[in-house]
Each structure stands twice: as structure tokens, then as C-alpha cells.
Structure 1
Amino acid sequence: MLSTLACSVSAQDWFTYDACQVDTVALHDTAVAPANLDALITDGAALPNGVGNFWRITSTEGMVSHIWGTNHSNDPKLLDLPQSVRDAIAAARVVALETNFVFQSRTKMDQVRSGLDILREPGEDASEVYTEIDLRILAWLKARLDGIGWGADAVEWITPTGLAEIMLNDPCSDFASGTYPTQDSLIQTLGAIAGAKIMGLEPQDAFLEHLNKPENRGLAFDLINLYGATLNPAAPDTARATSYALYLQGRNGAAMMWERSAAQAFFGHNIGPALVDRVDAYLLVERNRQFLEAALPELSQGGLFMAIGSWHLPTETGMIAVLRDAGFKVDRIPTPKEVAQ
């Protein structure tokens, strides 16, 4: 989540192993300041489908599938999937993720692992990073790049698209990377073990190809700024515990309202909400339509378990509403830790 104050400490200093540990998952009103937590919860619940991570999808022919809103984290507190979700994965004919990150060739594997797919062309002018990225965020971004081994100077030779992709990854997941899977990877693994067909709802390169288009360069910098602000070292210690609690309680609408409030506080009354709207128009609205198109053949047969980020579910353009508009009956399946509404 975004916070609102700048600090002289580098972002990487804040994201230490100890700072990333959440001893007790709980809501803290001070974590969302200057917003009010009760107001965020009320406003979030008022969003269409603003509460709930697990849903049953029934076609007009009676074929049943499921959708689960994931949290893209490898924290064990978020990997303990409800038994009803595990049962649905085990019984699924097809498990669909946002993207299937299993490499289909050694050439592709080498390209991604070497970073060749996110490097600027030799001699390309990189001065735009100093005009398009908020200077507070630029300092934290350099610290982030240095902390993951690229070096602070990499801000000038990684493409804006590559920087945006890096910003979408939680720094606290660095420590257990390669040890604990993200929740999405865990679901894919459980599905594969159970013998389900694994599919990606978009190609591996879809994100990079979209943002690499000249007309989408501004969107790449929007993503860098919005998610780079989450590197703010002044974020309260209770922010992560609160974020986890909102997710486990199924309060995705409230979490989205928190992001909007924090962006407004950080970037300003007009700039912040507009930035969120531009990013969501691609990440959530456009991609939801693409996800549905990819899933339709499997949904018509039933037995699909779809796992996508939990923020894809709420609002009138969220996946639950999109599925209903496409003629499917979609019913929430409450899980033990979730609130009723």
C-alpha cells in the first residue's frame, strides 16, 4: 500500500527481512492515515462485489467452474489456502493463471533470466527517467534496483517497461524467492500435481509487448510512479499487517479504496486518483476482458479453476461483473477468515 511521507532512509533499508515479518495479521487504523479505516471498509464494501475472494461460476448449461482472487505474495501467512479452495483446485480439469510462467524453450528462459528482454537499445537516450518519474520515487527505485543486484545505475539502461515490471514485484518476496512460491505459483503447482491442464490467460510476453508500444510509454511511467510509491521507507510498520488482514477478510474493495486514498495523499488531490484510473484501465479493466475471452472455451465445459489477482474481482468492470454480463451465474463462496460483508 502507498504511504504519504518522504524519508531520507533508502527504500531498500526499510525492506529488511525483519521489517517484512508480520507477527500478527490485524487491522490498524493508523496504517491507512490520513484516511479512516472504517470509512475505507464501508466504501469498499459498497463497491460491486467488494467483498469475497472465492466464487462459483455456473454456465447457462449448468457447467460449474470457480474463480479465486490471489495475493501475489510468497508470505506463508497467505499461502494457507482454505480447504474449499484446495478441494476445487484438486478437482479442476483446467487451472488458469494470469500467466503461465513455465518456460516453453531454453531460448526464452535464457532471455528472461539474463534480462535481455528489458534492456534499452545501446546508446538510447534515458533522460526521460529524470523527467517522467517522481524524484522521490526515483531515489527509492535506484535503491530497489541496487538491492536486487542490478545496481542503482540500471535505472538508465532498463526500459521503462522493465522498470514497471520490477515495480510490480513485492520487495518482501525477495527473501524467500526460490524457497516459498507465490500464492499464484502454489496454485499452479497444486493444479499440476492433481493432473489439471495449466493455462495462462495471457501470453508470457503480453505485459512487456503492450507497454513497449510507443503509445503506451506514458502508461509504463504511470506504473513506475504508482507502484514505486509503495517503496516509501516511511510506511508505517502496521501497513503490511493491515494489508494482509484486509485480504484474508476478503475486503478487496477496501484495499482498493486505500490505494486511491494513499495515491491522492502522495501525489495530490487531482494527480493521484487520475494516476490510479489510468493504471487500472489497463491492469484491471482491459486485461479482465482479455482474461474472459481466453477463459470462455473452458468455462463452457466447466471444471475451470481461475486464479487471478484479488483486485481483478470487485467493481462494475471487475471479473465477477464481467462474468455475469457474459451470462454466467456467479455466487460467492465465503471462506472461514472472511467477513460476511
Structure 2
Amino acid sequence: MATTARRAPAKRPSIPQLSWRTPQPAPVVLISGPEDVLAERATAAIREYLRAEDPSLEVSDVRADDYAAGTLLALTSPSLFGEPRLVRVTGVEKCSDAFLAEAVSYLDNPQDGATVILRHTGASVRGKKLLDAVRAGTGGGVEVPCAAVKRDSDRFDFASGEFSAAKKRIAPSALRTLVSAFADDLTELAAACQQLISDVPGDITDQVVERYYGGRVETSAFTVADTAIAGRYGDALIALRHALASGSDPVPLVAAIASKLRSMAKVAGTRESSGALAARLGMKDWQVDRARRDLVGWSDLTLGMAIQATARADAEVKGASRDPVFALERLITVIATKAPFGAQRPHR
């Protein structure tokens, strides 16, 4: 009787995996992954942690790709007065042979009072021998994963965490608007969160976010999408013209509509609880609830028609048409009226 071969389980790192929001110092700290915003936060948090313990902390920066032999040992060795040392190493994914050899050797004998942060973006396999050694536990290290923030739900979690960490309340709808406004740039989203946290004395409302960031392209895009999907044809056209007049590009406008229609299609016809469905689809509970509300008045036929119209408009605003504004207006008309373009016009 034939047997089915079982795949060996993935090997897990044997060192502690720490959140980038609450990292802890260790002789060696591996900050891995492509998201620089999270990596910078983790590095800053470790520095502040060490500085709070001893203000005399010596901080040094090293580039692994432009490395002078002997630098790592020189910077980590105890000084005359025994101050703690923090050495921040960047570019490990493109490190020189000299650095790689010395760093691997360093793991066998980490210096007392020294913390070495190794930043590896994962952009290449360069330095794999060093990463494997750290993850195997050599040197008493820890790892701080900084995975890419790509999905809307990940950006929402990031922004929500910013306000929670600052013990600042923000209305869910205001948070959604803020995340939509900076959907393509986590650095700008992080800066916007910190600006609101530092500038606004009380709770952060829809009106506050609109006052600060109402002119953002993506915010205007989702306003257009919301009004069109809700069937408010006149309001949707006015919102579209306002967005275009304020400098919005047609491409993100179509992208916002497509994003909402995709969410609607995912939840259409499902009867699971919001929590169970969100977990299965990689969404947040509020996203499922919003998509279900958006589906009121829609059928499989009209939703399919809207998705096809959006695909056509997407191609047209990216160069398939000489008149992207007309393509947008036609799309808004189809979605807001839930009817083929031209069916809205009275027959003569």
C-alpha cells in the first residue's frame, strides 16, 4: 500500500521573537524584514531602553557593506569607565566578507555590556550564515521581525496601535479615513498618526482628520467610492468633480472603487459571523461589517456588472482611453444607478 510522504515541519527559530513595539535588549538583536518604519521604531525603542538604564550609553553606527576590519570588536570592547555600548549595524543583507567573518566570530564571544543590532532587510540571502547562527541561539540573541505591511487590515492595525500606545482615542471612522488617506505610504501614515497624537489635545474625531488630511487623494477617492456604491448618483458626481478639481489622479480613484467592490464580493452571500469571516478572509471585523452594509440594494448581477465596469475603467485611466475623466464618469454612473451606461437616459 502506497504511503503519502509527509512534509517536514518548517524549522522555527530557537531564539525569542519580539514585537517591534516592545523589543528588549540582548547581546545581539536581529531586526529582520523589509519594513523600515517598523525596524526604525524597534531600533529607537532599544536605544531608549538602554539609555533609560544608563544615560552614559555609547551609540555607534556601522555599515556592513562598507566595513573596516576590526571595527566591531573595537566598538563593543569595554571602555576605561565601563559605559554600556550600543552598536547599530545596517546593510547586513549586502555585508562585506570582512564583516561577515567578524560578526560570526563575535557571536562566540559577545562583549559584556554591549548590544549589537543587526539590521537585515531580507532583500538578499547575503549574510545567511550569520542569520542562521543568530537564530540558532549563538550569541544569546533575539529577533524582531518587521514583515511588510501590505494589506489594508495590516495598515489599520498599525495605525490603531499607534494611538493605543499613546493612550489616545480615535473614532473608528476617523481611523479608517486616516488609513485610507495614506494607503500607499506607511512612513507618511506613521508621521500623520504622530502628528495627530502630538497636536490634538482630546479625542480624535472625523472632523479632526478631515481638517488635517481632507485634501489627500485617497481620502477623496474613498468619498467618491462610498457615495457611488450607496447609490447617491448626484453626490457621487459632485464628489468626483471636486476630487478631480483638487488634483486627484483618476488611477487611485478607480483603485478605491475596486477595493470596496472586492470586499463586497468577498462577503456576498456568506452567513458566517463577522469575526469568523474576517479571520478566514484576512480582513478586520469592521471591514466585513462595512462591506455587508454596502451590499444593501445590490444583487449578484449588479455587483458583477459593477466589477466589469471597474475593470474597463481601470484599463482606460491607465492609457487605453484618451479621456480618463469620461471613463470615470461612466463608471460612477453605472455603479450609482446599478444599470448599464446609457440606460439612465430617457428615450426620445
Whether these two folds match at TM > 0.5 is no
Q: Give the structure, 1 or 2, with the largest relative contact order (CA under 8 Å, sep 6 or more).
A: 1
TM-score by length of 1: 0.25
TM-score by length of 2: 0.24
Which protein has the larger Cα radius of gyration, Structure 1 or Structure 2? Answer: 2
